[in-house]
Amino acid sequence: MKYLRTIALLGALGLVSGSAFAEDSSDPIKIVTNNWTSQVVLSNVIGQVLESQGDKVEYKPSDTQLQFTAIASGDMDFQAEVWEGSMAESFDKSLAAGAVDYGAHQAVTREDWWYPAYMNEMCPGLPDWKALDACAAKLATADTGTKGRFVGPPADWGKHYSERIQALKMNFQEVPVGQAATLWAELQAAYDRKEPIVLFNWTPNFIEAKFEGQFVEFPKYEPACLTDPKWGQNPDAVYDCGAPASGYLKKVGSKELDQKWPKAAAILKKVSFTNPQIAAAASLVDVDGLTPEDAAKKWIETNQDTVKSWLQ
């Protein structure tokens, strides 16, 4: 019902099908879904928009790093959210192996250690990482002994935080979660009791509308930090820096996408999300409790001008 309304809406805008391009294949376009909310909702947004244009789509869950090999080999066709802070290395390799850069979103992104604002009083000198390190004892748990606990991301997000802790000789231990929901449950539990916590977070996300807090400032990122041990304050280690504070968000597609589905490919090259649009996509599920599919329908209804601009 709602889906038909979406089609009707796009139809009314004169945006349903019919164009000068060659026809798209009737095979499904395989859109990759990952394990964080905005990516799943916005993949559904893209899928529903392509369906409104007559394309078939299939959603394929994939590991955040392995998806790049799948796209380079043509097993999957499109990924909507390539985050610089966690995927740049795998993305670059996939381009060298034949995947296609579908361009950047308007959004500017950051992924790193994050803490609630009430900790500024508990750990004077924050957000500087050295002040956090000096405060490690306040973040110690049964699991981490005398070390501070950093609640880290699921393994497939491609971060190197245990290496960073070692490279910067921090008195911390990473305790990774299995899924994003655990990050938010840990944050909520600490926040309710005003207990110290430092965890992995990113922006844009629904978190910034619900919790007050900020990123820890680590030594400023430069690409050499990841490849040249001599760079940075530890001359014998890579990863002695933070993640990019103004990272890109890109899209990637298979070689086949352009060839088999030229109309869809032209739309996907134009797809661009802003920071508030991404945060809102996450919020529709993580705060309002919608399914990703319904969240995508709602998102399309409230962002008609944006969708229209992709179809012109």
Residues at the contact surface with ligand TMO, assessed by CB under 6 A:
36, 83, 86, 111, 157, 202
Minimum Å gap between C-beta 62 and ligand TMO is: 13
Minimum Å gap between C-beta 293 and ligand TMO is: 20
* Closer to ligand TMO by Cβ: residue 55 or 112: 112
Minimum Å gap between C-beta 178 and ligand TMO is: 14
* Closer to ligand TMO by Cβ: residue 157 or 239: 157
**Burial of 275 by CB count in 10 Å (0-12 exposed, 13-18 middle, 19+ buried)?**
middle
**Burial of 269 by CB count in 10 Å (0-12 exposed, 13-18 middle, 19+ buried)?**
middle
Pairing of strands 28-33, 198-203: unpaired
Structural contact between residues 172 and 148, judged by C-beta atoms closer than 8 angstroms = yes
3-class DSSP assignment, residue 138 = helix
* Closer to ligand TMO by Cβ: residue 111 or 174: 111
* Closer to ligand TMO by Cβ: residue 53 or 283: 283
DSSP H stretches of helix in 124-203: 129-134, 161-167, 180-192
For the CA atoms of 129, 130, 136, 137, what is the dihedral angle to 10 degrees?
Answer: -150
Chain Cα centroid distance, residue 243: 13
Minimum Å gap between C-beta 6 and ligand TMO is: 26
* Closer to ligand TMO by Cβ: residue 159 or 263: 159
Q: Between the CA of residue 254 and those of 39, 46, 93, 260, 268, what are the distances in Å?
A: 18, 16, 13, 10, 12
Minimum Å gap between C-beta 111 and ligand TMO is: 4
* Closer to ligand TMO by Cβ: residue 180 or 264: 180
Structure tokens at 109: 């992104």
Minimum Å gap between C-beta 127 and ligand TMO is: 19
Output 116-121 pairs: Cβ under 8 A, ≥24 positions apart. 116/187, 116/190, 116/191, 116/197, 116/211, 116/212, 116/213, 117/212, 117/213, 117/214, 118/194, 118/212, 119/196, 119/197, 119/198, 119/213
* Closer to ligand TMO by Cβ: residue 135 or 183: 183
Minimum Å gap between C-beta 14 and ligand TMO is: 35
